[in-house]
Amino acid sequence: MVWPVDGGEMGARIRQFDWGSTPLGPIEHWPQSVKTAVDFMLAAPQAVFVFWGSDHLLLFNDASLPILGEKQEWALGQPFGLVWSEIWEDFRPLMEEVMAGKSLYFEDQAIPVTGRPARPIGWFTYS
């Protein structure tokens, strides 16, 4: 069975991406935990980003495309630190806490978003 079954543009891009060239490995070998996170992400009406593994590889849904701006063409499957190098040093400690098992929640945070010249600052709630 082909997976993910749906998911709009990003579902199709996830199916077509060469995951074997990433630490996640071929999509047919992904653990159920990754598939469940991706299914939830693709079904969500709001922007959802999933950062997976020690490299924090980026997966995202259709609603996330406007946030990514020009980066949407190449960001899929890339490490957080590469996609958002301009904010990586601010987020690295948060990622380390999450990887150590801590739950975090932030509300209405101003974050610079490059690749969107018309809207260089975005307000985000994330966990």
List, in sequence order, every residue forming a beta bridge with 79; answer none if it has no partner: 57
Cβ neighbours, 10 Å, residue 40: 12
Q: What angle do CA 30, 33, 39 make, to 5 degrees?
A: 90
pLDDT in tens, the chain (127 residues): 678 888 999 999 999 999 999 999 999 999 999 999 999 999 999 999 999 999 999 999 999 999 998 999 999 999 999 999 989 999 999 999 999 999 999 999 989 877 667 777 888 898 9
Residue 115 confidence (pLDDT):
67
The CATH number for 8-126, chosen from 3.30.160, 1.20.1250, 3.30.450, 2.60.40, is 3.30.450
Q: Which of 36, 31, 43, 37 lies closest to 58, judged by CA? A: 37
Residue 116 confidence (pLDDT):
67
Residue 102 confidence (pLDDT):
96
Output the pTM of the full model: 0.89
Determine contact, residues 77/19, Cβ cutoff 8 Å: yes
- For the chain, the C-alpha Rg in angstroms (whole number) is 14
Q: State the Cα–Cα distance between residues 88 and 79, nearest whole angstrom.
A: 10
**What residues does each domain of the chain span?**
8-126
List, in sequence order, every residue forming a beta bridge with 60; answer none if it has no partner: 49
